[in-house]
């Protein structure tokens, strides 16, 4: 299947989602991924988003979206309410990633997490040689305007999963619209994990 004008990371996430499933996307933005999942996977989708203007965009796309922040908005769902809970580039922007991930694993049977890899080699070079907080394609913000509250690398996330008994079902590493297979913590700009409680 080919998709025109679909983001590479969205296509990767699409591959992880089974047809006819239920999806909660935390920080769904203007709803591009959720729309794609509904169109291509016939999922029953629900979004959660903090930005009011993004809500209007989602509603215009016919999406179900709830205006609110992720940190408190997730707690209100019952256990196993969704087949998938998706955090697409929103993990770095939430106040309490640990409690959100714990809750996401409670609310969703599976959780899909995508984030920008802070240990990407270009970031490392900028820190090491430039002595500056890195600004890259996947992390394009200056330190004074970044919405990101946390920085996480591929290895950090794998360590976290080991520490918290989170089972990694699948992992995908991406850079410049290509899959990365070797040394992902060095060469991946974006990492996508499919995780669960392994029960």
Query: Residue 28 or 191: which CB sits closer to another protein?
Result: 28
Under rule CB under 8 A, residue 109 binds another protein: no
Choose the binding region for another protein from 52-60, 112-120, 122-130, 139-147 (rule: CB under 8 A): 52-60
Q: Around Cβ 128, how many Cβ atoms within 10 Å?
A: 10
Binding mask 12-51 for another protein (x = CB under 8 A): --------------------------------x-x-----
Q: Around Cβ 146, how many Cβ atoms within 10 Å?
A: 15
Binding mask 59-88 for another protein (x = CB under 8 A): xx-xxxxxxx-------xxx--x-------
Q: Around Cβ 96, how many Cβ atoms within 10 Å?
A: 14
List the beta bridge partners of residue 168: 195
CA distances from 180 to 3, 14, 53, 168, 173 (A): 20, 18, 35, 17, 5
CA dihedral 107→168→160→84, nearest 10 degrees, is -20
Under rule CB under 8 A, residue 145 binds another protein: no
Question: Binders of another protein: how many residues, by CB under 8 A?
Answer: 20
Give contact residues for another protein (rule: CB under 8 A). Answer: 44, 46, 52-53, 55-56, 58-60, 62-68, 76-78, 81
């Amino acid at each position: 299947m080919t998709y025109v004008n679909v983001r590479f990371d969205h296509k990767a996430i699409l591959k992880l989602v089974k047809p006819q499933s239920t999806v909660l996307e935390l920080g769904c933005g203007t709803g591009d991924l959720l729309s794609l999942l509904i169109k291509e996977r016939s999922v029953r989708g629900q979004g959660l988003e903090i930005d009011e203007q993004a809500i209007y965009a989602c509603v215009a796309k016919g999406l179900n979206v709830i205006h609110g922040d992720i940190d408190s908005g997730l707690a209100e769902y019952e256990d196993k309410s969704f087949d998938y809970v998706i955090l697409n580039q929103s993990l770095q922007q939430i106040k309490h990633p640990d409690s959100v991930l714990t809750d996401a694993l409670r609310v969703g049977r599976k959780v899909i997490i995508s984030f920008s890899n802070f240990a990407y080699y270009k970031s490392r070079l900028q820190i090491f040689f430039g002595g500056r907080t890195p600004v890259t394609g996947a992390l394009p913000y200056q330190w004074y305007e970044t919405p990101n509250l946390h920085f996480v690398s591929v290895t950090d996330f794998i360590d976290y999963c080991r520490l918290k008994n989170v089972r990694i079902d699948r992992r995908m590493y991406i850079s410049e619209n290509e899959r990365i297979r070797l040394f992902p913590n060095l060469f991946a700009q974006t990492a996508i994990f499919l995780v669960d409680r392994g029960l």
